[in-house]
Amino acid sequence: MSVLSTEPLSRHSTIRIGGPAERFALPSSMEELLHVLDLVDRGALPGPVRFVGNGSNLLFPDAGLPGTTISLKRMTRFRILPDGSIDADAGTYLPRLAFRAAREGWDGLGFLSGIPGTLGGGIVMNAGTRDGEIGNILEKVRLLDPKGRLHTLDRSEIAFSYRSSPFQSASSGDDRTPWSGYAIVGAVLRAVPGEHAGLMQEWNALRKERARSQPLDCPSLGSVFRNPVPHAAGRLIDQSGWKGRSFGGIQVSALHGNFFVNMGNGTASEFCHLMSLVRKAVFDAAGVCLDPEVETVPAVL
């Protein structure tokens, strides 16, 4: 297993921003994950610990992160059982899971086809689209507590809401949540029988629609702000006059106002500054206060 020193976090975030992680571990099994946690416990690796997935919703700091950052994106085993339940490791890539389910004739996961995150990160964010969200197809979540003990939570014990779950901030050791310091290590999802050809058609249509409406050729973190129901954040940003404008190396995408893209040499501080400029402009123009969906990681925990 790799435990890397001063690993650039920019390599582990889809917006390609972030300074060095003091240590960065990529376990590919439960045994390896437990081994890393044991090394931290014995002082052989530095704390604090932070769990991440594919970094598709994380803005890492320019200064990097102290302690040991653990990405579960190599823990990728999953199986689809004959009754339609899907038992998957936390690092399973959501589009891969959705594709496999569709190919094998299982319906209900199509909305995950364009979300470039892992199952663990998807559960933390209650990731989804207007067609569905992870909380709706979840049956159980497997968690590892800071002492290395496994717990299984039933869906009925978890209060999900729009892009929100009780696991948010838990991975950073934030003690305002009961899951502080817990890792999501796996989950059971539920699919329903469908028809292979129709599901593959839906898959292709969803991917095409994303490519048409989102700047997928530039590094980004997807939607920067949650939609302030009943409004769409992208439309409000568009109306505020910020679509296509930039600050430093970060641009408000000209294609989709709620996506900020890295033009090549953007930094986390520029991204944050652009967020505050856009929030102020939207508030001045529409009286709406936008709530960030992207998670900004502080340099000092």
Ligand X SMILES: Cc1cc2nc3c(=O)[nH]c(=O)nc-3n(C[C@H](O)[C@H](O)[C@H](O)COP(=O)(O)OP(=O)(O)OC[C@H]3O[C@@H](n4cnc5c(N)ncnc54)[C@H](O)[C@@H]3O)c2cc1C
Positions marked catalytic: 163, 223, 293
Helix, coil or strand: residue 157: helix
Contact between 236 and ligand X (CB under 6 A)? Answer: no
Contact between 250 and ligand X (CB under 6 A)? Answer: no
Nearest distance, CB of residue 62 and ligand X, angstroms:
17
Q: Which is nearer to ligand X, 20 or 53 (CB)?
A: 53
For ligand X, the binding residue among 183, 199, 250, 268 (CB under 6 A) is 183
Contact between 171 and ligand X (CB under 6 A)? Answer: yes
For ligand X, the binding residue among 17, 98, 141, 184 (CB under 6 A) is 184
Site for ligand X in 9-38 (CB under 6 A): 14
Contact between 252 and ligand X (CB under 6 A)? Answer: no
Per the document, the length of the chain is: 301
Contact between 261 and ligand X (CB under 6 A)? Answer: no
| Type of residue numbered 202 | E
Contact between 124 and ligand X (CB under 6 A)? Answer: yes
Contact between 116 and ligand X (CB under 6 A)? Answer: yes
Annotate 95-109 with three-state secondary structure. Answer: HHHHHHHHHCCEECC
Strand partners, 68: 23, 49
The two beta strands, 192-193 and 183-190, are unpaired
The whole-angstrom separation of Cα 262 and Cα 107 is: 35
Neighbour count for residue 66 (Cβ, 10 Å): 17
CA distances from 49 to 89, 172, 209, 247 (A): 20, 7, 38, 32
Nearest distance, CB of residue 10 and ligand X, angstroms:
14
Contact between 267 and ligand X (CB under 6 A)? Answer: no
Contact between 127 and ligand X (CB under 6 A)? Answer: yes
Question: Which tokens sit at 299?
Answer: 């340099």
Nearest distance, CB of residue 278 and ligand X, angstroms:
18
Question: Which tokens sit at 230?
Answer: 């009943």
Q: Which is nearer to ligand X, 150 or 193 (CB)?
A: 150
CA nearest to 122, candidates 101, 96, 152, 92: 92
Site string for ligand X, 50-69 (x = CB under 6 A): -xxxxxxxx-----------
CA distances from 232 to 86, 99, 209, 285 (A): 32, 28, 17, 14
What residues make contact with ligand X under the rule CB under 6 A? 14, 51-58, 72, 90, 114-118, 120-122, 124-125, 127-129, 163, 171, 183-184, 214, 216, 220-222, 295
